[in-house]
Structure formats: structure tokens, C-alpha cells
Structure 1
Amino acid sequence: MFRIGAHVSISDGFPAAVDHEVDLGGNCGQIFVGSPRGWAVSEVDETEAEAFQETTEERDVRPWIVHGTYLVNLATPKDDLAEKSVDCVQSELDATAALGVPYYVFHPGAHTGAGESTGIRNVGERLSEVDVPDDVTLLLENTAGKGTTVGKRLEDLDEMVEVSSHGYGDLGICLDTCHLFAAGYDFRDDAGMADLADDIEATVGYENVHYLHLNDSKHPLGSEKDEHQHVGEGEIGEDGFRLFVNHDGLRENPMVLETPVDEKGYEWNIETVKRLRTGD
């Protein structure tokens, strides 16, 4: 079954997030387990976790994914920030497991002047300090590449996994379309999509891509700017998304939207992706 959804709030509690997703027309979804711009992780009440799992099952909204706080930086040269980031990732992973959610995704971070190769190695080594729960897969998200952020190239994500003591299995990949495009991957026509497909196969491998973030880009190809636009209304356009969401190597993955929340909103974007999707 085609799984498409959006990021939804947990402000009304975890079980209510499932209903919010259904109201948008989604059948999978993404949540935070705390403030995206803070270090605190919400305590997961056992009763609420059970209610969340029951509602998920009843309404057939799955799989869920938890997005990590934006403050996490495993690439940093600063030991105190690295320690805080590792502790936060661990707490978020534990909350993910307590909710019965199978995926957790985060941004690798920035090397802030230490050098790209050092930042990439830092991510891998610090991932080794994390205990990934048995029923959770930790996903690395590709980045747009702005400033000193690492993870712009697919081979960089692959190196992070290789450096880590976990390897694929405990770890996997989440691909963001806006980030791919901003990083210079052009998949707006058949030739470009074929090139991206070859890059995925040669680096992280399709089998290790578990989730997709669908966001158009407000800025041109290779801009390294991470500003999301409604699907089909940015620089990627409908042709690019049609190729991406229908590609044989990607189409079975769950997909969530992180598009602007304005007069169009998530419901409009979900319907747009459903229209672009073929063969279901």
C-alpha cells in the first residue's frame, strides 16, 4: 500500500496525533518527542503509549517516524556539545522505542570549521556510543549542505555508517527531496533521475533507504539552501516529484511531507502527491 503522510503535532497527546494524520488524508506520519529547538525529551507514559499503538493499529496509520531535535550535532569538534547530542539522541531513541515507533531520523550536524572529513568521522564514531533499541532503526538524513553541515553527498552518509560500529541494520537512510536538490542532485527529467538512482545504488543502497521526506525547494539547484516549498510549486516541480515518487527503487517507501503550513497546508500536498503517484 502507498504510504503518504505529514509531520503532525503531539500537543494534544500521542494518540491524538494519529487522528490528526487521518484528518489530513495521511496513512503514515512523523512526530517529535519534544521541542524541535530544545533538549528536553517528553516522558512517554506507558498508558498513552499503548493508546497510541492501539489507535495506530485501528486507523491503519503506519509506519511512524520520530524526528530528532534540530540541536543535535554529532559532527561538532566540541566535546561538551557532542556529549549532550549523544545523550539527547539516546533519550529520543528510547522514547521512540517506548511508543512502538520503528524509525528515528536526525540531521548529522556541522563540523564548524574542523573540516568535512573530521565531521563525517565524528558522526560515525559518536553513533557508536548510542544504543539503538532492537525494534528501532536510526536513520541518517541527507542535508542541503549549507555552511559546514555534513551529509550533503550520499557517499558521506555511507561513510558515517561505515565508521560506526553499528553498520546497516541498526542504521539506515532517510532521503529528503529538497535537500537532494539543494545539494546538486537534479532529478527533474529521466536522465537526471537515472543518475540519482545510480548514485543511491552505488553508495547507501536502495535496501537501506527506509523513509522519504517530500519537500519542494524554494531555491535553485545546488543552492545549498534548505527552504521547503509546496510539492510541485518550487524549483523541483511536478515532473521531478512524479519521477521520484514513482521510481521502482523508492516508491514502496513511506513518504512524509514537511512543506509550509499556510493556506494550502499538508492536506493539499498529500492530495498532490497522490495525484502524481501512478500504478496504485
Structure 2
Amino acid sequence: MRVGAHVSVAGGVDNAVGREVDVGGNCGQIFTTSPQVWAGPDIAEDEAAAFRESSADLGPWVIHASYLVNLATPKEDLREKSIRSLQAECDAADRLGIEYVNVHLGAHTGAGVESGLDNAASAVDELDIPADVTLLIESDAGSGTKLGGEFAHLAGILDRADAELGTCLDTAHAFAAGYDLSTPGAVEDVIAEFDRTVGLDTLHCIHLNDSKHGCGTNKDEHAHIGEGEIGDDGMRAIVTHDAIGELPFVLETPTEDGRGFAWNVDRVRELRGE
């Protein structure tokens, strides 16, 4: 099973590998810089080389784009900043030998869903995505004018963009957006709906998170695996499902109650029966 966590790059991106190993992960995710600012990746070549060498037996890895990126925006200045930021992350992934860059669609801020998807597709098509990097569009919790809460939004960007894109399904986001994942039957239904609407062939990564809030609340707050509203039954059904069980599962669970990523990685493996 491939399961890991979103770990820090403090002190150098190569330090992320040791942190992943320490929590028991064998794949992982990073921010290359603070996700709350427009500063781009600043990775020295020796750090990049050390990351590539030390992560040879781990993977895949994912770079999560800045939270400031808004591909769906109608505002030209924000659009240009978003494109530059995302291009820098794709280039960093290429340097680090990382397969995936993950991004949210953003918010249409009143322009409407169709216009937002058009904006997002045209922004993506301005990128020069390296041949060995795949850009993943992540599902969202669906609050306000944010796109990605409906599987149809993911299908919409894939249909519109000329670029070859993939998807990332976040379990807490999907649950918050109204896709029930709390029972084996519900999980089966949601995965079937995703396949019909988007296509499981596009799905490259699962952000495996439980939810502190109920289904359909649009509240994005992650919980420890099995201890949120999705619960053990739902989480077990997700990680053992034949159609997605071999995908990489990346945890973005909280550090609280004396438990962090290591506890959650162990819990996932227990639910998997490993």
C-alpha cells in the first residue's frame, strides 16, 4: 500500500524525505514554499539532487500548489499571478523528479460556473507542463463560489483544457460537498459516480482525510482517520476498494490530541488489514 503524509520542507526540500520515513510513509506531498504567499520555489541544486537521490525508493510525490492560486478567477492580475505561480511549481516538480502537482480550481467570484471553468481551462493551457509532470485538479468542499465541489466541475475542466490533466479526490472535501462516504455502500456509489462523471482513469491520487463536520455542510476541517464523520467503516471501504486501493493515499490530517501523521498512517494500514 502507498500511504504517506504532507510533510514539511523546513531546512531544505531534501529534509522532507526523512520526515516522511519518520512517520512511516512511503509516498508523500510537500509545499515548496509557504502556501499563503506568492513567493516561488527557491531550491538549490544540491537540495534538488539530494531529494532525488534520497527519495528514489519512495513515491510518488506530489507538490501542492499555493492556496493563493485561483485558476477560475475573472480578474486578470490574479490570473497572471496564478499562472506564474503554478508554472513555477511544475518546473520545480520537474527538477525534483516529482510526478504530480496538485491544484484547486479556485473561485469564479460571481462570474458563474461555466465562465469559471472556461477561465480555468484557458489558464491551464497557458502552462508549459513538463513531459514527466502531471497536473492534478483536486476536488473541493464546495463553499461559496469555489469550483470543484461537484464532480461535474472536474469533468468540465478536463473536457475544456487541451492539456492532459489528472484529478485528485479529497475524501473530506467530497464528503463536505455532499458525497456520502460513511458506509461501504455509500463509498461504492460515490466511486461509481466519479467514474461515470469524471473517469477513474483520470484519478492519480487520494487525499485521505476524515471530516470533523457532516456530509453536505461545505465545511473543510480534517479529522483523524476513522474519528470523524466518515468514520472507520467509510475509511475502511475507501482504502480497500478494488478500483482505487492501489492509488497513493496522502494524509493531511491534523496534529492534535497527542497524535499526528504517524498515528494516522498506522491507522490506515490497520484498516487496510496490513
Normalising by structure 1, what TM-score?
0.95
1:181 is aligned to 2:175: yes
The residue matched to 1:14 in structure 2 has which SS?
coil
1:69 match: 66
CA distance in 2, matches of 1:245, 1:181: 15
Give the aligned residue type for 2:134. T
Moved more, 91-100 or 187-196: 187-196
1:267 is aligned to 2:267: no
Give the aligned residue type for 1:137. T
CA distance in 1, matches of 2:130, 2:197: 25
Alignment of 1:90-129 (within 5 A): 90-129=87-126
In structure 2, the gaps of 5 or more residues are none
For residue 44 of structure 1, report the CA deviation from its aligned partner: 2.3
1:136 is aligned to 2:128: no
For residue 189 of structure 1, report the CA deviation from its aligned partner: 1.9
CA distance in 1, matches of 2:199, 2:113: 22
Alignment of 1:250-261 (within 5 A): 250-261=244-255
2:42 match: 43
Q: For residues 144-165 of structure 1, what are the alpha-carbon distances to aligned partners after superposition, in whole Å with 9 as ceiling and x for unaligned? A: 0011100111121111011111
Give the aligned residue type for 2:6. H
Alignment of 1:1-280 (within 5 A): 2-57=1-56, 60-166=57-163, 170-262=164-256, 263-278=258-273
Give the aligned residue type for 2:197. T
CA distance in 1, matches of 2:112, 2:95: 37
CA distance in 1, matches of 2:46, 2:204: 28
How many residue pairs get aligned? The number is 273
Give the aligned residue type for 2:200. Y
CA distance in 2, matches of 1:200, 1:252: 17
For residue 191 of structure 1, report the CA deviation from its aligned partner: 2.4
CA distance in 1, matches of 2:226, 2:183: 14
Q: CA RMSD in A?
A: 1.0
For residue 205 of structure 1, report the CA deviation from its aligned partner: 1.2
The residue matched to 2:148 in structure 1 has which SS?
coil
CA distance in 1, matches of 2:49, 2:268: 31
Conservation of the 8 A alpha-carbon contact between 1:44 and 1:99: no
Conservation of the 8 A alpha-carbon contact between 2:182 and 2:229: no
CA distance in 2, matches of 1:184, 1:42: 35
Conservation of the 8 A alpha-carbon contact between 1:102 and 1:136: yes
For residue 187 of structure 1, report the CA deviation from its aligned partner: 2.1
Matched residues, percent identical? 50
Conservation of the 8 A alpha-carbon contact between 1:174 and 1:210: yes
CA distance in 1, matches of 2:242, 2:122: 33
Normalising by structure 2, what TM-score?
0.97
